Structure 1
Amino acid sequence: MYEKVRTLLSFAGNIAKEKEPEKLIPMLADLAKNMLDVDRCSLFVYDEQSKKLYTIVAHGGVRIEVDADKGIVGESFRTGETLVVNDAYAHPKFNKEVDLSTGYRTRNILASPLIDSKGKVIGVFQAINKLKGEFKEEDVEFLTLLSVYASDSLEASMLYKKLREAYEETITRLSYAAEYKDPETYNHIIRIGLISSFIAERLGFDKDYCYNLKLAAPMHDIGKIGIPDSILLKKGKLEGEEWEIMKKHTIIGYEILKDSSSELLQMAARIALEHHEKYDGTGYPYGKRGEEISPEARITAIADIFDALTSERPYKPAWSVEETLKYMKSIAGSHIDPRIFNVLLENIDEILKIKEKYRD
């Protein structure tokens, strides 16, 4: 008992301080494993589309996916009851398929449902293979208590995920709205963000930077909403004053986005302003050069050029990857950042997978 109290106290401080559900849930699984003295714990979540339960945390490292009406975990999910099974293979509901697929041997199971604030079962917290003896009443009480914490964290995480997905889709659709009169596709907008984020990751930028860039890069041309249709939709080359007006889309985009307190929109503002600047200082609107141009704008420019040239449009056929890379190599150091271009070049196979997955 003394060891269990020490274990509980050692986890309690970190659990109390942790605010992120994605980090808290694995901590609860580790605590359950130690306090229940079991070989492993798994936390299953229900997916309404597939009608399956899948692990978001699983000691042993193997992701498990089962039908929601199968096995002990399925029975706990279906009934909303905590189940104690001290001889797994003797239980009629035990699903032997999981052991067969993983090579693991299950002896006993304790499964507790995860119930949200509306009384809906959203998953199951499962402990497997008590190291000594069988599961007792005190084990049931402890896992039931942890399941309440896990349910709250999971519900918060799912809500956050839904809000984040809605936010991402709103940003992406607003980016597409800015391009609506141009012959660009919705998937082009998606690809610009993903390719830019991928390159940033390979350059060593942190997770938050890469996430923001994924959403900010597609907004590079948002300032075009302020350009008259007579210029924006003109067929053929823009002349004199027309071209000067078109170039102002960079400043218009910056003015739209610059005053936000959001780091994402501040990044988007810099990209909108600088994505037509050139590495040698011959771009617009301010003739910035080299590292005077923000890295996010330099990355976005390269992603945009590559995707635009390798994509078919009403006014041009798609260039081959070889032609595109040859051209981009010829402008590396003058138009585009040569170091960032080299990252694209070195990872071209992965970038082509993005293009294939989100093809027009």
Structure 2
Amino acid sequence: MPLLNNDDALKELLALSYRVSTEKNTTKLLEDILCSAKALTHADGGTIYSITPNQELKFETLINDSLGLYMGGTSEKPIPFNHIPIYIQGEVNKNALVALAAATQQPIIIEDAYQACSHDMSGARAMDQKTGYRTKSVLTVPMQNHEGEINGVLQLINAQHQGEVVPFNQQEIDLVLSMTSLAAVALTNKQLINEMEVLFESLAKVIARAIDEKSPYTGGHCRRVPELTMMLAEAVNKAQYGPLADFELTEPEKNALNVAGWLHDCGKIATPEYVMDKATKLQTIFDRIEFVDAKLEIYAQQRELQALKYPELNIDLPSELQQLAEDRAFLQTTNLGGEFLPNESVERIQQLAEKYHITINGIAQSVFTDDELQCLQIQRGTLTAAERTIINHHIDVTVMMLDSLPFPKHLKNVPEYACGHHEKMDGSGYPKGLTKEQMSPPARMMAIADIFEALTASDRPYKPGKSLKECLKIMGFMAKDSHIDADLFNIFIKEKVYLEYAKKFVPNIANEEIDESEIPAYVSPNK
């Protein structure tokens, strides 16, 4: 058989080198290796296998020109064969050439499968009986990388010359060995990259879970936000209308956005639990409403003593105690926090502080300390301004943490995506006061996801979860006021991302009747 043309062989090897360095799909890469080896050796058929964690050979691509077979790879036709074990009960599986080649890390060359005595070819002959094929020359090569590890096996069948089946010659064998070595190194590099990406994403999830575990009241937040963000991202990719009709996230950008979702609150790892978990306005290590209530009980007892000791004061004790009971109930309710405390209630608390005094060690004092008074007068939620600053600082820590990480090129946007969920489109957000034009669409998506998750969540210490209608109304006004991206909000509603999320995470509100035409700022793209 004439030797291969060196120029053709070099071109094929160079072409393969380029493909193995650029191809991101491992399945496609393995198929390319097989096709190149077939072309170089003029083989009639061939199969390429990968190695599973269980030390089995998995069929990746199978091609046979004479039988018209093309399975696996990019053919979308599954290969109906079981994995081949390399070892059986601790012993090398000598019943399959590919298993023997993988175990011994040595190529196996067969000139005629029906004349070979040194190897068990019963499997090949049995297959021939089923297909009517005639296996003759066989070349089985383990794919061994630079560290001596096997990450695949290539098998070629029936080298051909002028229509005749011939043995594989030494030049062909040397070329295939060089090719598989090159391919094995490329596969190893890709596997390392994939493993590093899996490791990085897993670490991001570990941090998120640690934060959720740190606070029982925000458990699941760091898991739900990335899921909702990706739901919205998929909806934006599908939407062929509005200002974002031409926008589409690539797979690497989707991966970066997913990682960003898991890391968006990583700075909360430095936030004190007593602030994160503050369920009521007076809570510290305990709820001080009990302390305030105890002081009011002392006040009641002191008034009762005064009424007995100084009858000339004409104290209307029943009336006073009735009013005290009403004031105590008011303080209990106020302590729970809420969306908004009216100015009249703030003033009433101030009046109560001036009205109710007790005497301890001869010193008259208000039943409220200055800090208790300040806490009770909080008008939104349960946090004071100082505590709100501590909570808001988590995003500064997030920025610091993510900016310090040497993200690879395809993840370089993770900090920008993750750190934008508290920014507002009009520039009034934090930490950087960015406007819509200064933020990427993925960062703006994450802001919507973070807000909607927080509104629907029922595991917050300071509020119950809201109804779907309430959540969409609030977000509609936020879009109207340029706090969230109105274009993305339209897609969020039009593609019913809110409903997809609710069905999965808050099914108790998913069945609500929603009239989308009543949502503030929402404009149906069909109108």
Quickly name the TM-score band, shorter chain normalised: 0.7 to 0.9
Instruction: Give the match for residue 92 of structure 1.
Output: 122
| 2:12 equivalent in structure 1 | 11
Instruction: Please report the RMSD computed on the Cα atoms of aligned residues, expressed in angstroms.
Output: 4.4
> 1:109-188, aligned counterparts within 5 Å?
110-117=139-146, 119-128=148-157, 130=159, 132-138=163-169, 139-182=172-215, 183-185=217-219
C-alpha separation in 1, matches of 2:464 and 2:125: 55
1:113 deviates by 1.9
What residue in structure 2 maps to residue 222 of structure 1?
A: 266
Task: State the AA in 2 paired with 1:255.
Answer: M
Shift of residue 346 of structure 1?
Answer: 3.1
**Structure 2: which amino acid aligns with 1:220?**
H
CA contact (8 A) 1:71 1:95 kept: no
Which 5+ residue runs of structure 1 have no aligned equivalent? none
Over 3 Å counting, the alpha-carbon distance change for 1:310 and 1:14 in structure 2 is farther
- Residue in structure 2 matched with residue 67 of structure 1 by the alignment: 83
**1:140 and 1:290 mapped to 2: Cα distance?**
61
Alpha-carbon spacing, 1:150–1:87, altered in 2? closer, same or farther (3 Å): same
2: CA distance, partners of 1:338 / 1:92: 68
SS of residue in 1 equivalent to 2:82: strand
TM-score after normalising by structure 1: 0.74
Counterpart of 2:476, as a letter, is S
Structure 1 residue 259, shift from structure 2 partner: 4.5
1:346 alignment counterpart: 495
Contact 1:220 1:268 in 2 (8 A): no
- Matched to 1:77, the amino acid is A
User: Which of residues 383, 393, 401 in structure 2 aligns to 1:238?
Assistant: 383
Counterpart of 2:56 in structure 1: which amino acid?
K
Matches within 5 A, 1:68-83: 68-69=84-85, 72-78=97-103, 80=105, 81-83=107-109
| Aligned-partner SS, 1:270 | helix
Query: Residues 96 and 13 (structure 1 numbering): CA distance in 2 closer, same or farther, change over 3 Å?
Result: same
Amino acid at match of 2:274: S
Runs of 5+ in structure 2 lacking a partner? 64-69, 86-94, 115-119, 238-246, 281-381, 506-527
Paired residue type of 2:58:
Y
Higher fraction of helix: 1
Structure 2 length-normalised TM:
0.54
> C-alpha offsets along residues 252-303 of structure 1, whole Å, 9 cap, x if unaligned?
3223333545357763433454211233555434554423333232122233
Corresponding residue SS for 2:122: coil
Aligned pair count reads: 349
Matches within 5 A, 1:38-57: 38-39=43-44, 41-49=46-54, 51-56=55-60
> In the alignment, which residue of structure 1 is the partner of 2:445?
299
2:485 corresponding residue in structure 1: 337
Contact 1:221-1:249 at 8 Å conserved across structures: yes
Q: Equivalences for 1:270-289 in 2 at 5 Å?
A: 270-289=416-435
Matched residue type, 1:54:
K
Contact 1:178–1:225, Cα closer than 8 Å, also in 2: yes
Q: Which shows bigger deviation, 193-202 or 60-69?
A: 193-202
Offset, 1:215: 1.4
